[in-house]
Amino acid sequence: MHLTSWLDSVRVRLGSLKNRRHARQLLRRPASQSAMTERLEDRTMLSVTSLWLDGELSVLSDSSDSITIETQVADPLSGALEVVVKVNGIEDTSVPQIDPSEVN
């Protein structure tokens, strides 16, 4: 019965010394500029939270955003108004359509 050292089987699996030297040389080469940088997508973190619950509108901010709460015409034919929350001039769409008479 012939037993081989576990170390010998590892050496065989890793390949010859010549192949390992070549692999080390490839690893040492600096990567090209395009391979070193990657363009990432823009990330926007929420800094304003608007919540409509039981007739109460709560607007919380954790940064220096410009927040405006105003009414605007919801239906030009009837003249019905709605409450609108604007963050930095952009309407916050997380708030449902709210009739101004419903706000406490």
pLDDT by residue (tens digit) across 82-96?
999 999 999 999 989
Side-chain-side CA neighbours of 95 within 13 Å: the count stands at 28
Q: Write down the pLDDT at residue 60.
A: 92
pTM score of the predicted model = 0.53
H-type helices in 16-82, by residue range?
Answer: 17-28, 33-36
Interval 50-83: pLDDT, tens? 999 988 999 999 888 899 999 999 888 988 999 9
Q: How far apart are CA 98 and CA 22, in angstroms?
A: 70
Within 13 Å and on the Cβ side, how many CA atoms surround 87? 16
What are the domain boundaries of the chain? 6-34, 48-99
35 Cβ contact list (under 8 Å, min separation 6): none
Helix (H) or strand (E) holding 13: helix 6-14
